[in-house]
């Protein structure tokens, strides 16, 4: 049974290492999905955590100032001012009325600093954009920056 | 016409259901006429779905905008190719396409095996027809492609349709979904054979021999589909990447990973009679992952920027998956005694052991990807919804990938049972030394990226072991038959296509790893440019010599002409372009890429600046990316070689365990 011991030890090492990588990775990269109203209720806990907030871009709220982009997200009449701090240009789909997901942290001044913006837009006949086939990559992400 | 289409899929549903019942009863009661009628029902289903599909495609081609599906996914100005591709461009159509592919596969299986496996075939047909029935259920009652647009009680046509999403109007994209689907659907066939073999308690591994080519072809389609998807993302999305760990990408990767594990572990069963349970588990998992993948992309179950319509289609998939998995698990547990292993593991440094770890690692990666993909949904059930981003996947998958790469190198050269020190030295001494020298040289040259160093080291190591294998074999053939080395290599490969094709596939994987490793050295730069301004990135100097705009009937466009110079030498121009499609109100990027073996220069037109005066140009230098596509082609070539029958019929010589044969013998007496 000694050889099975060796196998077991090796398997434990491999699986253990991967589990450890996965667990530490999760702590460091996890992002909470929050609605704007949940964000309000979180109080002080909201600061410093990585968050992902969704909503509609309020028409006319997109402001470009000195290369910086600022806009207002609306969801169920709750509003959140978002400042985009990322380096990549905003996605093609980002404009007035589009549904957007902002990924970043809430600043102490109440402005959400987003490192990434994902946006999708409604099309002519459907409330939601057309479905894609499996395997198709995210068409609306122009901000994805890390891949292998 | 729409009525004929609806009728056809409804009939197909009934006939498929009949095929299940007839085959099962025919199988149990051993009534040949029922079995044959079950097989004919499979052909009829194919005819009916083909008819329904033709009607839908005809409507798409002619722009019959009374069809809701046509209005959503086609328009008048679209090129004919994309009108056809709209068949699989949306929910209803793609599910019909799924059904059609499955019926085609099932018909081919029924036809080619009509005189073989008499006791197993009824169940194979029954399993395939069950899956078919499920998809036809969706086609008929959940996502009917023949839905008409109507106001009150009148069927109306809209003047023009939405058109296929412009992001999909790209040649690779038109063939990418069919490739993936051929993969997704194809795994149903080996699964059906595995189940058929379990039900009828087949001795041996007949199902594996019968489906080896199926599995390989299916795996090839799946892999090609994934590569095309990556190529599309690279050329269309304008973000300088090719893989983003999006749930939908993950969904296509999962069955590929478990399928890869399956292709390896069946060798253990063929050669040593081991891992029988495991193989059944693997092929079943692969099949259910295919269904899960289809489900995830169809139901809005997993949050994805792919933005699928949330629909109640999900609960049908969940039910089907739950029932299917439960039935499979029951069947395996019930038949465990037929799946006894014939030999045991002997040494950690052996071929068996390398297969074991190969499987462990592939399954671990599969599980990791699944976990990451489902985590938002799982965590939501326990409170707050939490996402894991690409960074998490990279942390986990990079070490997994490197370990797998290492196994790719050593595994095939370990001997069965136990590897002697002598053979280790013979096989690995020079590749090992060369890899260490390479890593040393790269370190000396100032490369400090830990994973990249390891990756390049392993890549060289694996490549050398593969080349040595070819060289040794070819040299001995050349000496014996008085041939030159090139002809001897061809001869060698032809004698054992399976082995040397496999080596070629490994070589393809190495090249892909080289390309992916280049990611560690990416450069990127963004700048707003006026005509005449320039931008520096790496050794390149980019000068914008022209900025134009215009429009045609499909889209409006902005285009920059960039003059590229490297170290003072002019390299011509690149023209990144931004388009805005009018029908779908969606923008797309036409990137300008200068692709070379050492690096790609990749320019994207990010948009116009706020004052609409300057163009925002994103520039990337992406080292070694081209090797990913080259590796993909080598991988495809290697798989094709595997599919060629070997010149010398090489049945795997089986090592039988004497004791077990005796036991079988007593059972038979």
In this structure, the number of other CB atoms found within 10 A of the CB of residue B28 comes to 12
Closest chain A residue to the Cα of B93, Cα to Cα: A133
- Asked if B357 has any chain A CB less than 8 Å from its own CB, the reply is yes
How many angstroms separate the CA atoms of A97 and A59, rounded?
Answer: 6
Contact B52, B5 (CB under 8 A): yes
Q: What average pLDDT does the segment B118-137 reach? A: 93
How many angstroms separate the CA atoms of B560 and B186, rounded?
Answer: 44
Place of tokens 């039935």: B327
- Asked if A23 has any chain B CB less than 8 Å from its own CB, the reply is no
CA distance B565 to chain A (A): 24
- Asked if B635 has any chain A CB less than 8 Å from its own CB, the reply is no
Closest chain A residue to the Cα of B359, Cα to Cα: A11
Nearest neighbour of A123 by CB, restricted to B251, B306, B584: B584
Distance from chain centroid for Cα B433? 35
Identify the pLDDT of residue B580. Answer: 82
Domain boundary assignment for chain A? 1-30, 32-132
Provide the token pair at B135.
Answer: 């998809």
- Asked if A147 has any chain B CB less than 8 Å from its own CB, the reply is yes
How many beta-carbon pairs under 8 angstroms link A with B?
A: 247
Residue B278 has pLDDT above 70, yes or no: yes
Identify the pLDDT of residue A22. Answer: 86
Identify the pLDDT of residue B293. Answer: 86
* Gyration radius of chain A's alpha carbons: 20
- Asked if A27 has any chain B CB less than 8 Å from its own CB, the reply is no
How many angstroms separate the CA atoms of A126 and A107, rounded?
Answer: 36
Percent of chain B exceeding pLDDT 90 equals 41
Instruction: Name every chain B residue with its beta carbon within 8 A of the beta carbon of A34.
Output: 384
Question: Three-state SS for B608?
Answer: strand
Q: Do A147 and B243 touch (CB under 8 A)?
A: yes
Q: Do A7 and B356 touch (CB under 8 A)?
A: yes
Chain B (500-559) residues lying within 8 Å, Cβ to Cβ, of chain A: 516, 519, 526, 528
Q: Do B307 and A29 touch (CB under 8 A)?
A: no
Instruction: Name every chain A residue with its beta carbon within 8 A of the beta carbon of B341.
Output: none
Pairing mode of beta strands A68-75, A63-65? antiparallel
HEC profile for chain A?
A: CHHHHHHHHHHHHHHHHHHHHHHHHHHHHCEEEECHHHHHHHHHHHECCCEEEEEEECCCCCEEECCEEEEEEEECCEEEEEEECCCCCCCCCCCCCCEEEEEEEECCCCCEEEEEEEEECCCCCCCCCCCCCCCCCCCCCCCCCCCC
| For testing contact with chain B, the best of A91, A139, A143 (most B CBs within 10 A) | A139
How many angstroms separate the CA atoms of B375 and B389, rounded?
Answer: 11
* Strand ranges in B183-282 using DSSP code E only, listed in sequence order: none
Distance from chain centroid for Cα B586? 28
pLDDT tens string B73-118: 888 878 888 888 889 888 888 899 999 999 999 999 999 988 888 8
Domain A32-132 superfamily per CATH: Nucleic acid-binding proteins (2.40.50.140)
Residue A126 has pLDDT above 60, yes or no: no
- Asked if A108 has any chain B CB less than 8 Å from its own CB, the reply is no
**Angle between the A2-29 and B351-381 helix axes, to the nearest 10 degrees?**
30
Chain B (82-121) residues lying within 8 Å, Cβ to Cβ, of chain A: 88-91, 94
pLDDT tens string B3-33: 899 999 999 999 999 999 999 999 999 888 9
Contact B56, B8 (CB under 8 A): no
Mean pLDDT of chain B: 86
* pLDDT-wise least confident of B468-477, B615-624, B646-655: B646-655
Distances in Å between the alpha carbon of B569 and those of B541, B545, B561, B618? 10, 16, 17, 22
Instruction: Name every chain B residue with its beta carbon within 8 A of the beta carbon of A25.
Output: 388, 391-392, 395-396
Residue B459 has pLDDT above 90, yes or no: yes
Identify the pLDDT of residue B108. Answer: 94
What are the residues facing B547 on neighbouring strands? B560
Q: Do A31 and B388 touch (CB under 8 A)?
A: yes
Q: Do A89 and B586 touch (CB under 8 A)?
A: no
Identify the pLDDT of residue A2. Answer: 62
Contact B393, B245 (CB under 8 A): yes
- pLDDT bin (cut points 50, 70, 90) of residue B236 is confident
Q: What's the predicted TM-score (pTM) here?
A: 0.86
Cα dihedral across residues B240, B244, B250, B253: positive or negative: positive
Chain B (567-626) residues lying within 8 Å, Cβ to Cβ, of chain A: 578, 580, 583-589, 604, 606-607, 610, 616, 618
Contact A73, A80 (CB under 8 A): yes
Residue B380 has pLDDT above 50, yes or no: yes
Q: B77: Cβ–Cβ under 8 A, 6 or more apart, which residues?
A: B163, B553, B554, B583
- Asked if A144 has any chain B CB less than 8 Å from its own CB, the reply is yes
Q: Do A124 and B353 touch (CB under 8 A)?
A: no
Identify the pLDDT of residue B249. Answer: 85
Residue B565 has pLDDT above 60, yes or no: yes
* pLDDT-wise least confident of B14-18, B269-273, B625-629, B651-655: B651-655
How many angstroms separate the CA atoms of B88 and B98, rounded?
Answer: 9
How many angstroms separate the CA atoms of B596 and B109, rounded?
Answer: 44
Residue A27 has pLDDT above 90, yes or no: no
Q: What average pLDDT does the segment B660-664 reach? A: 43
How many angstroms separate the CA atoms of B227 and B637, rounded?
Answer: 14
How many angstroms separate the CA atoms of B55 and B61, rounded?
Answer: 10
The segment with the largest mean pLDDT, out of B58-62, B167-171, B306-310, B579-583, is B58-62
- pLDDT bin (cut points 50, 70, 90) of residue B442 is very high
Side by side, the strands of the sheet bearing B592-595 are B523-529, B615-623, B599-608, B592-595
- φ/ψ of B540, rounded to 5, equals -95, 145
Q: Do B242 and A3 touch (CB under 8 A)?
A: no
- φ/ψ of B414, rounded to 5, equals -70, 145
Instruction: Name every chain A residue with its beta carbon within 8 A of the beta carbon of B386.
Output: 30-33
DSSP assignments along B447-487, one per residue: ---HHHHHHHHHHHHHHHHHHHHHHHHHHHHHHHHT--HHH
- Asked if B628 has any chain A CB less than 8 Å from its own CB, the reply is no
CA distance B25 to chain A (A): 36
How many angstroms separate the CA atoms of B202 and B369, rounded?
Answer: 34
Closest chain B residue to the Cα of A92, Cα to Cα: B587
Instruction: Name every chain B residue with its beta carbon within 8 A of the beta carbon of A52.
Output: 387
Identify the pLDDT of residue B649. Answer: 59
Cα dihedral across residues A106, A108, A109, A110: positive or negative: positive
Provide the token pair at B537.
Answer: 């990135």
- Asked if A8 has any chain B CB less than 8 Å from its own CB, the reply is no
Q: B403: Cβ–Cβ under 8 A, 6 or more apart, which residues?
A: A14, B361
Under DSSP, the state recorded for B143 is S
Distances in Å between the alpha carbon of B503 and those of B219, B482, B510? 16, 25, 10
Closest chain A residue to the Cα of B238, Cα to Cα: A142
Residue B125 has pLDDT above 90, yes or no: yes
- Asked if A17 has any chain B CB less than 8 Å from its own CB, the reply is yes
- pLDDT bin (cut points 50, 70, 90) of residue A138 is very low
Identify the pLDDT of residue B564. Answer: 92
How many angstroms separate the CA atoms of B143 and B308, rounded?
Answer: 13
Question: Three-state SS for B262?
Answer: helix
Q: Do A93 and B586 touch (CB under 8 A)?
A: yes
Instruction: Name every chain A residue with its beta carbon within 8 A of the beta carbon of B180.
Output: 133-135
Type and span of the H or E element at B619: strand B615-623
Identify the pLDDT of residue B648. Answer: 67
pLDDT tens string B165-176: 777 777 777 788
Q: What average pLDDT does the segment B173-186 reach? A: 87
Distances in Å between the alpha carbon of A68 and those of A90, A92, B191, B283? 11, 17, 55, 52
Identify the pLDDT of residue B385. Answer: 78
Provide the token pair at B125.
Answer: 């047909």
Which of these, B399, B287, B416, lies nearest to B346 by C-alpha position?
A: B416
Distance from chain centroid for Cα B534? 41
| For testing contact with chain A, the best of B178, B186, B244 (most A CBs within 10 A) | B244
- Asked if B364 has any chain A CB less than 8 Å from its own CB, the reply is yes
Which of these, B97, B89, B96, lies nearest to B6 by C-alpha position?
A: B96
Pairing mode of beta strands A51-57, A31-34? parallel
Q: Where are the alpha helices (DSSP H) in B531-571?
A: none
Contact B631, B317 (CB under 8 A): no
CA distance B250 to chain A (A): 8
Q: What average pLDDT does the segment B512-536 reach? A: 89
Which of these, B135, B72, B56, B71, lies nearest to B103 by C-alpha position?
A: B135
Place of tokens 């090489």: B650
Nearest neighbour of A130 by CB, restricted to B72, B181, B376: B72
Burial B286-308 (b: 16+ CB within 10 A, else e): bbbbbbbbbbbbbbbbbbbbbbb
- Asked if A11 has any chain B CB less than 8 Å from its own CB, the reply is yes
CA distance B462 to chain A (A): 20
Nearest neighbour of A7 by CB, restricted to B297, B308, B348: B348
Contact B462, B408 (CB under 8 A): yes
Identify the pLDDT of residue B301. Answer: 59
Task: ipTM value, please give it.
Answer: 0.71
Instruction: Name every chain A residue with its beta carbon within 8 A of the beta carbon of B239.
Output: 88, 141-145
Burial class (CB in 10 A: 0-12, 13-18, 19+), B424: middle
Geometric angle at alpha carbon B567, from B565 and B569, rounded to 5° = 50
Question: Three-state SS for B584?
Answer: coil
Higher-pLDDT residue of B6 and A27 is B6
Nearest neighbour of B241 by CB, restricted to A123, A133, A147: A147
Distances in Å between the alpha carbon of B358 and those of A43, B255, B347? 48, 16, 15
Type and span of the H or E element at B578: strand B577-581
Q: Do A147 and B371 touch (CB under 8 A)?
A: no
Identify the pLDDT of residue A66. Answer: 61
CA distance B623 to chain A (A): 13
- Asked if A71 has any chain B CB less than 8 Å from its own CB, the reply is no
pLDDT tens string B291-327: 998 887 766 555 544 444 456 777 888 899 999 999 9
CA distance A143 to chain B (A): 7
- Asked if A44 has any chain B CB less than 8 Å from its own CB, the reply is no
């Amino acid at each position: 049974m000694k050889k099975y011991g060796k196998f077991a030890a090796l398997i434990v090492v491999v699986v253990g290492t991967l589990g450890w990588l996965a667990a530490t990775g999760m702590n460091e990269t996890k992002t909470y999905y929050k609605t704007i109203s949940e964000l309000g209720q979180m109080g002080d806990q909201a600061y410093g955590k990585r968050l992902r907030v969704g909503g509609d871009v309020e028409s006319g709220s997109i402001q470009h100032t000195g290369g910086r982009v600022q806009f207002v997200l609306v969801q169920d009449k709750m509003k959140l001012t978002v400042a985009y701090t990322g380096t990549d240009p905003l996605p093609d789909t980002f404009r007035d009325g589009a549904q957007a997901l902002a990924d970043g942290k809430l600043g102490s001044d109440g402005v959400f600093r987003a490192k990434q913006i994902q946006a999708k837009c409604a099309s002519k006949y459907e409330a939601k954009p057309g479905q894609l086939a499996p395997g198709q990559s995210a068409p609306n992400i122009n901000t994805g920056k890390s891949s292998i | 016409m729409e009525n004929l289409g609806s009728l056809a899929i409804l009939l197909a549903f009934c006939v498929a259901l009949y095929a299940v019942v007839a085959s099962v009863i025919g199988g149990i009661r051993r009534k040949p006429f029922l079995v044959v009628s079950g097989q004919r029902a499979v052909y009829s289903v194919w005819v009916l779905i083909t008819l329904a599909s033709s009607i839908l495609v005809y409507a798409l081609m002619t722009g019959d905008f009374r069809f809701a599906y046509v209005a959503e996914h086609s328009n008048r100005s679209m090129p004919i190719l994309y009108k056809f591709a709209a068949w699989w461009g949306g929910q209803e159509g793609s599910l019909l396409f799924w059904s059609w592919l499955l019926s085609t596969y099932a018909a081919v299986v029924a036809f080619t095996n009509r005189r073989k496996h008499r006791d197993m075939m009824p169940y194979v047909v029954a399993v395939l027809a069950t899956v078919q029935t499920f998809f036809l259920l969706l086609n008929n009652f959940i996502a009917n492609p023949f839905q008409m647009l109507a106001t009150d009680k009148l069927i109306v046509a809209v003047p023009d349709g939405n058109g296929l999403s412009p992001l999909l109007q790209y040649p690779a994209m038109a063939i990418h979904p069919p490739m993936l689907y051929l993969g997704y659907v194809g795994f149903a066939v080996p699964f059906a054979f595995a189940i058929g073999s379990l039900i009828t308690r087949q001795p041996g591994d007949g199902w594996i021999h019968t489906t080896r080519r199926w599995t390989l072809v299916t795996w090839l389609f799946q892999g090609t589909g994934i590569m095309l998807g990556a190529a599309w993302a690279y050329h269309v999305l304008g973000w300088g990447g090719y893989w983003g760990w999006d749930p939908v990408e993950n969904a296509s990767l999962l069955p590929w990973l478990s399928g890869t594990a399956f292709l390896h572990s069946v060798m253990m069963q063929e050669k040593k009679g081991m891992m029988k349970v495991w193989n059944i588990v693997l092929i079943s998992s692969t099949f259910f992952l295919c269904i899960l993948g289809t489900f995830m992309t169809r139901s809005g179950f997993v949050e994805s920027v792919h933005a699928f319509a949330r629909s109640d289609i999900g609960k049908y998939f969940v039910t089907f998956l739950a029932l299917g998995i439960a039935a499979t698990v029951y069947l395996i547990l019930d038949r465990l005694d037929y799946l006894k292993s014939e030999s045991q593991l002997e040494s950690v440094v052996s071929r068996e052991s390398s297969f074991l770890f190969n499987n462990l690692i592939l399954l671990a990666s599969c599980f990791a990807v699944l976990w990451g993909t489902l985590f938002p949904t799982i965590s939501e059930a326990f409170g707050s919804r939490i996402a894991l981003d690409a960074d998490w996947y990279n942390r986990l998958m990079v070490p997994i990938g490197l370990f797998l790469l290492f196994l790719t190198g050593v595994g095939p050269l370990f001997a069965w049972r136990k590897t002697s020190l002598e053979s280790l030295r013979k096989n690995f001494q020079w590749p090992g030394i060369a890899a260490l020298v390479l890593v040393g040289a790269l370190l000396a040259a100032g490369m400090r990226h830990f994973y990249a160093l390891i990756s390049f080291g392993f890549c060289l190591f694996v490549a050398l072991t593969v080349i040595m294998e070819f060289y040794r074999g070819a040299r001995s053939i050349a000496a014996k038959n008085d041939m030159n080395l090139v002809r001897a290599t061809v001869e060698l490969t032809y004698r054992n296509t399976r082995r040397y094709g496999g080596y070629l596939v490994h070589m393809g994987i190495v090249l892909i790893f080289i390309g992916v490793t280049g990611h560690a050295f990416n450069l990127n730069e963004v700048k707003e440019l006026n005509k005449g301004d320039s931008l520096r990135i790496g050794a390149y100097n980019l000068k914008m010599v022209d900025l134009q705009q215009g429009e045609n009937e499909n889209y409006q466009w902005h285009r920059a002409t960039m003059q590229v110079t490297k170290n003072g030498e002019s390299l011509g121009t690149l023209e990144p372009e931004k388009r805005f499609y009018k029908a779908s109100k969606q923008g797309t990027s036409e990137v300008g890429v200068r692709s070379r073996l050492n690096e790609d220069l990749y320019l994207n037109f990010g948009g116009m600046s706020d004052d609409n005066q300057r163009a925002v140009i994103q520039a990337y230098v992406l080292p070694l990316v081209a090797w990913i596509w080259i590796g993909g082609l080598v991988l495809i070539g290697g798989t094709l070689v595997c599919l060629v029958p070997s010149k010398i019929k090489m049945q795997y010589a089986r090592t039988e365990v004497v004791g077990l044969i005796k036991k079988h013998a007593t059972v038979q007496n």
